[in-house]
Structure 1
Amino acid sequence: MSDASANGDAPQGAAPEAAPQLPKMQILGQFIRDMSFENAAVQNGVVAQGQPDIQVQVALDARKRTTENQYDVIMKLKVDSKTKDEEPKSIFLIELEYGGVFLIENIQEQQLHPFLMIECPRMLFPYVRRIISDVTRDGGYPPLNLDQIDFVALYRQQIAARQAQQPQGTA
């Protein structure tokens, strides 16, 4: 006769905690830490004709909070829109620092940094996209819908830049 019960459960002597703990992430809160919208075209009487030149810069930051398993992740965006004239003129400039407070459990230490810099920003991005869209629309422009950001590629670029900045060993 088998040790397993008739309903397919594990034998009575088996330890229930033997199953691997699955990673857990929960957004506890989100906030705008800082936001600036400079509507230069309206202030300076610039008439934008045609498609503008839009540059988007993204920076990420994460830090441990004092509460166990809680982290702050901040996404910093700078959206600069200029005319495509010979002498480009600023149309608008948006600077946004958007943060989230995350509860993260069951992540190995060596996987925590990539998780904070890839998965957490991926969860925040739809909200950031909506804010940028609303601000540009409210500023009198067509809503700017940001393209998806490849946070894996961004993370790899940041790691490569950090390694390039490290001083080489002296002989």
Structure 2
Amino acid sequence: MAEGNGTAAEAQPQVKMSVLAQFVRDMSFENLVAQKGLTSGEVQPDIQVAVSLDARKRPQDHQYEVITKFKVTSKNKTNGDTLFLLEVDYGGIFHVEGVPEDQLHPFLLIECPRLLFPFVRRIISDVTRDGGFPPLNVDTVDFLALYRQELARRAQAQNAAPTEQVTQ
């Protein structure tokens, strides 16, 4: 019986992952406070952070590009005016082997962004500080929960689509 267990363990491939490159694909920072000439006494910030993910296979074997997209909006609580808008698309090129095909999609959209997150957090902090605001330290993102929300959203959209077609 021990041999059977050892054989089963040997049959499963070992997961290998390495980060080949990291990069800012696109970034935009709009400081509307400076453009409008507001003073800090007139500002009570309300900050919203939206995160989206994208992953795709590269032409090379076992290579994938994963992009984390952060949209940070700060609005003035008193009047709803936008104070600043920061959009960052931060990517990584990953070499991934040994992940079963049915687990590859969640692996790319959960594990890879987890590795990229500290770097994009630092960029957001630096850009907001350099833009004249207190450095924004974005809360840790739960990429597993984000992935599950996206699956639920897609399932709901897919279930709703046939119903809409039938009622029309």
By the TM > 0.5 criterion, same fold?
Answer: yes
Q: Secondary structure at the match of 2:162?
A: coil
Between Structure 1 and Structure 2, the one with more helix by share is 2
Distance 1:19 1:110, change over 3 A: closer
Percent identical pairs in the alignment equals 57
Q: Does the alignment pair 1:78 with 2:50?
A: no
Residue pair 1:57, 1:77 contacting (<8 A) in 2 also: yes
Q: Which of residues 73, 91, 103 is equivalent to 1:111?
A: 103
Give the equivalent residue in structure 2 for 1:136.
128
2:166 matches 1:153: no
TM score, norm. by length of structure 2:
0.86
Q: Which 5+ residue runs of structure 2 have no aligned equivalent? A: 1-6
TM-score (norm 1): 0.85
The one-letter code sitting in structure 1 at the alignment partner of 2:30 is E
- Measure, in 2, the Cα distance between the counterparts of 1:51 and 1:79: 16
Please point out which of 56, 59, 81 is paired with 1:63: 56
**Aligned CA-pair RMSD:** 2.1
Question: What per-residue deviation string (whole Å, max 9, x for no partner) do you get for residues 122-148 of structure 1?
Answer: 000000000000001111111100000
Q: Secondary structure at the match of 1:168?
A: helix
Q: Partner of 2:135: helix, strand, or coil?
A: coil
Q: Secondary structure at the match of 2:17?
A: strand
Give 2:162's match in structure 1, choosing from 164, 168, 171. 168
Q: Find the aligned partners of 2:44 and 2:149 in 1 and give their Cα distance.
A: 29
Q: How many residues align?
A: 157
Counterpart CA distance in 2 for 1:120 and 1:164 is 26
Match of 1:54 in 2: 47
